[in-house]
Amino acid sequence: MVTYENLHDTLSFYSIDCHQSYYISSGNPIFEFPKAPFRMDYYALCICTAGEISIEIDRHQYKVEADSFLISAPSTIVKFLKTSNDFMMKLLFFDKNFLIKNISNPFIIEKMDLFSKGSYSIVKTTEKNSVLLQNLLDYLKKKSRKQGKFTEEIVRTIIFNLLLETAEMMEKKNQIGSEKEEGKKDLYLKFSKLIRENIRQHRTVQFYANALCVSNKYLIEVIKKASGKTPHEVIDETLLKEAYVMLGNPEVTISEVAFELQFNSASAFGRFFKKHTSLSPSEYRIKENIQS
């Protein structure tokens, strides 16, 4: 499994030289994709404009067709499986720090409710909506080429517009009328961020409850309501994603993975991994053809 460390490394697979905090595709056909799963380290909005693609995201398989879009957050693990001959897509990659520069609320993206499946959403929309998003991407690409005094702010504004239009489409499609208390929603967002930052060192609910200055009981109640999962389940899912990424590096032994993830032994890590995947770490490496 390949772990790209930054946007530049990710795009280098496609021979794209990008030294900016964002990238907008041309919409041309793509004939080659990474064969191994990889963890994205940027936000992405991908719109299928023709044909279809089979894709695996966080170990779940989907078929994405024309007028569908994928929006994902950093840490999402993606594997491309198969595309039709006429498959085409337009996409935008961007770094969060670039987008929220000069904005006081660091959770502004999360508050748009873009990620219905934790760190991503796949939405089938109308042709009209698809064209609207594509036109915004085209406009964004056009503006990004003109390096002027306000280019960065213009690009940032268009990306926000894209995200808000996407959020509105999702809200109308899902017709979700649930009114969440802002305080509880903020707590869930902070909990999710803390886990991503600390998962290799800490995986007890008590640690995160203490860090958020709430009781275990209250944290369980809020996270269960917001995600349908217990904090422990969310922690285990995040830990499993880290395990997938580390096992994808054939230079790292299973014992080293167990040590990095704070397990008492390789066998304890093996029991955890098999419980969630039905495979031992070594069986997973054989299945994915990960060899040193």
- Scanning the structure block, which residue is given the tokens 């409710």? 113
The two tokens of residue 267 are: 């066998």
Write down the pLDDT at residue 174.
66
CA distance 282 to 110: 36
Helices in the chain by DSSP H: which ranges? Answer: 7-12, 96-99, 127-145, 151-174, 182-198, 205-211, 216-227, 231-247, 254-260, 266-277, 281-287
Write down the pLDDT at residue 59.
83
pLDDT over 70 at 278, yes or no = yes
Strand 22-24 relative to strand 88-94: parallel, antiparallel, unpaired?
Answer: antiparallel
Write down the pLDDT at residue 176.
44
CB 245 within 8 A of CB 3: yes
Write down the pLDDT at residue 118.
79
Write down the pLDDT at residue 128.
93
pLDDT-derived band at 253 (thresholds 50, 70, 90) equals very high
Output phi, psi for 61, to 5 deg. -95, 140
Mean pLDDT of the chain: 85
Write down the pLDDT at residue 9.
62
Write down the pLDDT at residue 14.
56
pLDDT over 60 at 58, yes or no = yes
**For 99-149, what is each residue's pLDDT tens digit?**
888 777 777 887 888 888 878 899 999 999 999 999 999 999 999 888 888
Write down the pLDDT at residue 184.
73
Q: Which of 70, 4, 86 is nearest to 42 (CA)?
A: 4
Mean pLDDT of 236-252: 89
Mean pLDDT of 149-160: 92
Q: Which residues contact 219 (CB under 8 A, 6 or more apart)?
A: 187, 191, 205, 208, 209, 212, 231
The two tokens of residue 202 are: 């800490």
The two tokens of residue 106 are: 């660091």
Percent of the chain with pLDDT over 90: 42
pLDDT-derived band at 269 (thresholds 50, 70, 90) equals very high
Mean pLDDT of 37-61: 88
**For 166-214, what is each residue's pLDDT tens digit?**
999 988 776 544 444 566 778 888 898 899 889 888 989 999 999 999 9
Which domains, ranges and CATH numbers included, belong to the chain?
2-174 (2.60.120.280), 182-287 (1.10.10.60)
